[in-house]
Amino acid sequence: MGCPYSVISSDSPASPETRVQAPYGQMRRVCGISYGDVFGTEGGAMLWVGEAKISKKEDVPKLYAATEPFIADDVVRAFIDWAEALAFATETTDYIGNLPGPAALGTWVRFDKTFLNIIGEEHDYVSLEQTTAAVRTRSFIYEQFATDILLEGSAFRAAYLTENTALLEKFGVVLDSDLTLVGGESLFPKIADTVAELVPYFDEKADMQDMTSVDDNYLGQPDQRYLKIGWAWAKDLVGNTVTEAEKALALAVTTYTGILDSFITSLPVDGFLGDPLIEEEHGDKYAPLLALCQAYVPVMIERACGDLGITEGERLCLSEMRTETVKEQQDMFGLWRNLYFAKATEKAAERGVRYAGMGDYHREWLMDNDRVPDNAHTYNVSRTNFINVIKLTDTLRTL
Amino acid sequence: MATDPDAAGLNVRAAILITRELPGTAAIKAPIMIWWLGSRFHVRDESGIPVDDLLALANSPRGFGREPRTKEDFMDTRIRLSAVTDVYGDRTVPRGTVIRRGEKLDTDLELLLPLAELILSGDVARLKPTGHTQVLGREAAEYSTYLPSEKGTGSTVRRLVSGPYTLLREVTNENRRGALLRVETLSLDEGAVSDTDVRS
């Protein structure tokens, strides 16, 4: 059977985490905003239950008295019924809430009550981070977080945490918990894509200016991140090799560790790889970095073709792809990433995870390839779609 | 926004090609059809690009569309999707329609209009041409404008305009040699559009 996935060509659960348990007022502070400060507390009466606007305390049934604070501020909340309003007030919901900003501040959002909610985000607009804060959940997976087991004491784990601690903490993830529970993707396809991409740069066939922070370049930032993480994994590999390709990579690490280790490990978080490398003093790093990346690529190709995180048919599909040029390698690593990610999403749905965050291209890839789990709903929260959600909130505010 | 002062008389079908090249990304090549009939338009894209990325190619302040920032974004540019996108709108109506994967989305016209207006010249009366040439058998004036950037040097936008139409729009940046956005009109047929072409 041929590979069912189109080859890109161009001229390129454990059990779900518990809800955040905090008084609502404290949650507003955790989000960094106070709705009262933004929208006022002068009895704007933005509480909707069913199709009724509730503007007086006398209209709140005694049984649901816990919802009374909701008529005292200008935050729009729209509940299907009083039972749902009470559940929200007592912080037992994880599918409704107000966005904390910066995008669409205060917008009332509603997701599926029981299924996995797949959020296809624009990273600079409504994001998974804002969504999970709004609905008050820590049950999620996110594409930037790793599904890989990061052994305690390993350089790999240390490098991953160096690069990702700030974001993990923003999501409320406890760093000494099982980090794989929030992982959406494996690090390896991303390391693979990076080392393949960097070969022509270190070989001085591509312009290292692309990797600098000049103007609106961004490429050098993620490539630096994954070079650092990849270097750490390669260091852990030394003394633990199995295949000939792994032995060659380990040899490159031990040969060049003197010149590369302090350089790579001291690169600042969120820095741009090209910024130091365009300086003359680092001209001596190009040859060893080239040797490292050239040794790395075959290891990643092997790993993709042997990845038990995808099916046998998918591994066969990857093994049939050409991997001679950088573009072909990146196409293969890109498909590897998508296949692995689809599996990770399926597993998350199986274990009852509530939210999966990914770029909107990925959401559509899952749809194109019929890989949306049966117990999942997809949401496109990009601007064109989301403007209608904002308008609904605005309408409810002004009625 | 390239608001055409003479929209009432529009009847044109144009085939355009949007090309974007950025380091680290797979090149975008989006062949797009645009139909205009008076104030109404229809845009069809078969490249699979998500709607908001398509719209950003027409309307981004830096000129290169929505640019990747994370490793995931960069790798996503190598994903090829199969969905066809149809965009319908009418300048006299505040909402337009996007149809993708069999689903209809009504949204603000102002988000959609820049895509349809890619082939329109807009108001060039206040601009001074920097040259003249021939494109698609038509006399065209060349205009060059500058899009400033917060971080440093901005981008240069070069346009070839013939009457009410933009036949070429090219964005480059002298500090980012590998960056290019090009919107090229491949064919232009006036009087070829009927009501069914612009009706959703």
Chain B partners within 8 Å of A383 (Cβ): 52, 111
Per-domain residue ranges for chain A? 24-139+352-398, 180-348
Percent of chain B with pLDDT over 70: 94
Interface residue B105 vs chain A (CB under 8 A): yes
Cβ(B162)–Cβ(B141) under 8 Å?
yes
pLDDT of residue B122: 87
Q: If contacts are CB pairs under 8 Å, which of residues 252-311 in chain A contact chain B?
A: none
Chain B residues in contact with A210 by the CB 8 A cut-off are 23-24, 176, 178
**Entry pTM:** 0.89
How far is Cα A268 from Cα A3, in angstroms, rounded to an integer? 41
Name the A residues in 98-157 with CB < 8 Å from any B CB.
Answer: 122-124, 143-144
In SS3 terms, B54-118 reads as HHHHHHCCCCCCCCCCCHHHHHHCCCCCCCCEEEEEECCCCEEEEEECCEEEEEEHHHHHHHHHH
**Bridge partners, residue A197, by sequence:** none
| Rg from Cα positions in chain A | 24
- Tell me the C-alpha distance between B184 and B196, whole Å: 25
Residue B81's pLDDT is 95
Q: Show the 3-state SS of A342-385.
A: HHHHHHHHHCCCCEEEEEHHHHHHHHHCCCCCCCEEEEECCHHH
Q: Given this model, what pLDDT does residue A103 score? A: 93
Mean pLDDT, range B80-92, rounded to an integer: 96
Nearest residue, CB atoms, A215 vs list B55, B77, B149 = B149
**Residue A273 and residue A285 in contact, taking contact as beta carbons nearer than 8 Å:** no
- The interface pTM score, or ipTM, of the predicted complex is 0.90
Q: What is the pLDDT of residues A337-370, one digit of tens each?
A: 999 999 999 999 999 999 999 999 999 999 999 9
Partner B contacted by A330 (CB < 8 A):
yes
> According to the model, what pLDDT value does residue A26 have?
28
How close, in Å, is residue B139 to chain A by CA atoms?
A: 31
Residue of B29, B62, B76 to mutate for A, most A C-beta atoms under 10 A: B76
Chain A nearest-CA residue for B50:
A361
Q: Do the Cβ atoms of A383 and B111 come within 8 Å? A: yes
Q: Cα-flanking dihedrals φ and ψ of residue A284, to 5°?
A: -75, -5
Q: How far is Cα B65 from Cα B56, in angstroms, rounded to an integer?
A: 5
Task: Give the C-alpha distances (Å, rounded to integers) separating B41 from A66, A171, B93, B102.
Answer: 51, 43, 12, 19
Residues with Cβ within 8 Å of residue A7, at least 6 apart in sequence = A321, A331, A335
Q: What per-residue confidence (pLDDT) applies to A45?
A: 64
Nearest 5 degrees, angle CA B129-CA B135-CA B141?
Answer: 10
Nearest CB among A11, A216, A364 relative to B83 is that of A364
- A207 vs B79: CB contact, 8 Å cut-off? no
- Does the bond joining A222 to the residue before it have cis omega, within 30 degrees of 0? no
CATH architecture, domain B7-193:
Clam (2.50)
Two tokens, residue B123 = 């108001």
Contact A214 B27 (CB under 8 A): no
What per-residue confidence (pLDDT) applies to A25? 28
Q: Which of residues 168-207 of A touch B (CB under 8 A)?
A: 185, 189-190, 193-194, 197, 206-207
In this prediction, the residues of chain A whose per-residue pLDDT falls under 50 are 1, 6-43
How many pairs of residues across A and B have Cβ atoms under 8 Å apart? Answer: 138
Question: At A249, which amino acid appears?
Answer: L
The SS3 assignment for A178 reads coil
Q: What is the pLDDT of residues B22-43, one digit of tens each?
A: 999 999 999 999 999 999 999 9
Domain segments of chain B as ranges: 7-193
State whether residue A325 sits within 8 Å of chain B by CB. Answer: no
Q: By the CB < 8 Å criterion, does B103 face chain A?
A: no
Sort out which chain A residues have CB atoms less than 8 A from B115's CB and list them: none
Between helix B51-59 and helix B109-116 the angle, nearest 10°, is 70
Query: Does the pLDDT value for residue B11 go beyond 80?
Result: yes
Contact A207/B173, CB-based, under 8 Å?
no
User: In this complex, is the C-beta atom of A161 within 8 Å of any C-beta atom belonging to chain B?
Assistant: no
Residues B186/B18, Cβ–Cβ less than 8 Å: no
What does the block give as tokens for B61? 């302040």
Q: Which of A359, A367, A388 has its CB closest to that of B76?
A: A359
Mean per-residue pLDDT of chain B? 91
Q: Name the band, by pLDDT with cuts 50, 70 and 90, for residue B154.
A: confident
If you count them, how many residues does chain B have?
200
CB pair distance less than 8 Å for A367 and B75: no
Which of B28, B72, B182 best tests the A interface by mutation, with the highest count of A CBs <10 A?
B72
Is pLDDT above 50 for B107?
yes
